Amino acid sequence: MSATLLPFEEIVTTHGPTVLRVCRAILGPMDADDAWSETFLAALRAYPTLRPDTNVEAWLVTIAHRKAIDQTRARARRPIAVDHLPERPAPSEASRWDGDLWAAMQALPFKQRVAVTYHYVVGMPYADVATLTGGSEDAARRAAADGIATLRKTYGEGGPR
């Protein structure tokens, strides 16, 4: 029997947490919810035409990457950062979350932030990171190394090493 697509619910259960970590790592906890929701809604729309043998995690991260770029651009256009939607519940966990690490991530240039996220948070090999972000494998490796070096300086003390 040929492979068939799993119910989308299983995709959400299996990959939801990783995609949320990606969104938080790239955008910070406040904007992560929006990016996560947009990612899964776009994925749900396209899902019936997905080839059943696709690497679903990589596919979702690719969508999340595009949404993160959109959000980063939208954020740059926003006037001032007093614009968190008021009805959004306080992210119960974001406060418990390692805020310092995410703050340190936010301080990285976008290129480094995504390279660090895809390689270190998702576990993607640099060749795949390069496919996703454009540029060479070496460039991806350098961006991640530079990002990690900065994180060690800005976040390192007191943090897990």
Partner 1 sequence: MMTTHEPREPERSELFVALPAIDEATTRRLHDRLVREAQTAGLLDVAYRTIDSPVGPLLLAATVKGLVRVAYRCEDHERVLESLARDLSPRILHAPARLDTVAKEIDEYFAGLRHGFDVPVDFSLARGFRRRVLTHLGTISYGQTASYAAVAVAAGNPKAVRAVGTACATNPLPVVVPCHRVVRSDGTIGEYVGGVDAKRALLTLEGAA
Residues of this chain that bind partner 1 (CB under 8 A)? 4-9, 12, 16-17, 20-21, 33, 36-37, 40-41, 44-45, 47-48, 55, 58, 89, 91-93, 96-98, 101, 119-121, 123-125, 127-128, 131, 148, 151-152, 155, 159-161
Determine the Cα–Cα distance for residues 101 and 95; give it in Å rounded to an integer. 12
Nearer to partner 1, 93 or 138 (CB): 93
Could you give the count of Cα atoms lying within 13 Å of 107 in the half-sphere of its Cβ? Answer: 15
Nearer to partner 1, 5 or 69 (CB): 5
Nearer to partner 1, 24 or 111 (CB): 24
Question: At closest approach, how far in Å is the CB of 79 from partner 1?
Answer: 26
Nearer to partner 1, 45 or 77 (CB): 45
Read off the tokens for 159: 């943090």
- Answer whether 114's CB lies under 8 Å from 26's CB: yes
Q: Give me the DSSP letters along 9-57.
A: HHHHHHHHHHHHHHHHHHH-HHHHHHHHHHHHHHHHHHGGGS-TTS-HH
Cα–Cα–Cα angle for 140, 144, 150, nearest 5°?
145
Nearer to partner 1, 83 or 93 (CB): 93
Question: At closest approach, how far in Å is the CB of 77 from partner 1?
Answer: 23
